Amino acid sequence: MIIRPEGASVSKRLESVMAHRREVPEDLNLKRIVERQFDKAAATLDVPSGLLDQIKACNAIYFVQFPVRFGDSYEIFYGWRAEHSHHRKPLKGGIRFSPLVDQDEIIALAALMTYKCAIVNVPYGGAKGGVSFDPRNYTRHQIEKITRRYTAELIKKNFIGPGVDVPAPDIGTSEREMAWIADTYDAFNPGGIDNLGCVTGKPVTQGGVRGRKEATGRGVTFGILRAMDSPGDFDGLSLGRGVEGKTVAIQGFGNVGYHAAKFMQEAGAQIVAIGEWDGGVYSKKGLDVEVLNRHRLERKTILGFPGAREMKDPREVLEVECDILIPAALENQITRENAPRIQAKLVAEAANGPTTVEAEQILLERGIHLIPDVYLNAGGVVVSYFEWGKNLSHMRYGLLQKRLEAAKTASLLAAAEELAGRHLSESLRKKLSVPPDEEALVNSGLEEKMTGAYEEIREIYLTRKQVKDMRTAAYVVAIEKVARAYMELGIFP
C-alpha cells in the first residue's frame, strides 16, 4: 500500500519512527552516504573484508591551490582530482565548477563513477575533479584561464591523459571547457597522436561524438522505459506498463534535466512540473518542454512561463503529485525532512546522490521505490566511452559500413518488391535505404548498455533474498565486478 501525505494520514508507526529520527541530525555528507550504501550491499556478499576495503577506498586524491591573473590582480583557486579505483585503466569522471565543491564530495563522486562504470560494463576506473568557484560570477575569458590553469596542474602530476585519466563535463562545465582542456593537453604534449582522447564531451568538430551532449538525459529515459516494461518489479506500484500518459516532475533543467524532459515527453509522458535554481513551474495539463526551453533561453529563467503556476521554492517541485519524479540537480535534495511529503510513485535519480540514506528508507517504507543514480545517470559515461574509442581509432562510427549497408538494404528492398509484385514509392524506398549515421549508432549502443545493465540489476533484485531494493542490487552488481577485476589482476587470491 502506498501512503500519501494527502488523502491519507501517515501511519502511527512511521510518525513514531520519524519523531525518533528527528532527535539526531541527518548526515548530509555525500562521501559517508555513498559509503553507507556500499556497506549495505557489501554485507550481503561473500567477499573478503580486505578486498571490500580496497574497493571502497579512494586510491589517490590531488588537491591543488593555483593562482590565476585577472588584469593587475591574482585570485587563488582550489581544485581537486580524485582517482578512486585503478582496477581498470584509464580512469573516468567529470569535472565540475561549483562553489559547493569540496574534497569529500569529489571523493564520493569518484567512488560513484567506479561503481557506475562497472554496472554498465564500461572498462574504466572511477575518478572525479572539480574547482571551487561559481562560473556565473566570471567572464568567459576568466573561465578559460581557470580551466587551462587547472588542466596544467593535472598534467604536472599525471592526473590526465588518454591512457591515464579521462575527464568529462559535469555541473558548471560543458563542451566549451572540454575543448579548452583538450587544447591545453595537446600544447603540453606536442605530436601525441591520441591527444584528443585525454577528455570526452568535446564539440563534434574537436573530436567529440554525436549524441554525447544528450547522452545522460537519453540514458535516464532508456532506464525508465526499461523499468516500466516490467513494473511488477516494484512491489506495491500500480503504474502500469510504459510511460505513455504518465505524469512526470523534474527538478533541474540543465543539460540532464532538459534532455530527460524532452525524451520523456517524446516517449509519451506528460511533464507537469520543472524546477530550476530560482524556482519552478507547474501545469496539470502539462508543459511543452521545447517552448519552455525557448522561454528560458530568452528570459534566462523558466519563471513567468505562460499558463503555468510558479513555485518560488526550487525544492517544491519535489513534492508535486506525479507518477515519476526525476531529481536532476544536486545531491541531498530529498531528505528525511521532505521525504514524507513526496507524492511520486517512483523516484528516478538523474542527479548524483539526490536522496539521503534516511530519506530513501522513508520512501521505501511508504511504498515509493527508486531507480538509483549509480545506474540511471550512467548514459554520459557510456557515450564518453564511445567518444574515447573514436578518438583512439581515429575513425568516425559508421564510416566503413555506410555504403555497404545502403547497398544491402537496396538489394533486400528490390527482392521484396519482386516477391510482392509491386513497387514501393520512391520516398518510402529512400527512407528505408538510409543507413544509420553516427548518432543513430551511438544511441543504439547507449540503449543496449542501459538495457543490459538494468537486466543485471533486476536479476539480483529478484533472486537474492537479502537484497530489498534496487540501489542495493546495483551496488551488488558493481562490487562483484570490481572484486572480480582485482582477483584477475592477482592482487587478491
306 CB burial (10 A radius; 0-12, 13-18, 19+)? exposed
Helices 103-119 + 379-393 axis angle, to 10? 80
Is 128 considered catalytic here? yes
Q: Which three cell numbers stand for residue 25?
A: 541530525
Helices 438-463 + 103-119 axis angle, to 10? 90
C-alpha distances in Å from residue 412, one per residue of 401, 404, 406, 409, 415: 16, 12, 10, 5, 5
CA distance 83 to 106: 9
Are the CB atoms for 383 and 215 separated by under 8 Å?
yes
CA distance 12 to 184: 60
Q: Which three cell numbers stand for residue 447?
A: 540503449
* Three-state secondary-structure class, residue 295: helix
How are the residues of the chain apportioned to helix, strand and coil, as percentages rounded to the nearest 5?
A: 50, 15, 35
Which residue out of 128, 145, 246, 390 is catalytically annotated?
128
CA distance from start to end of the chain: 46
- Catalytic positions are 128
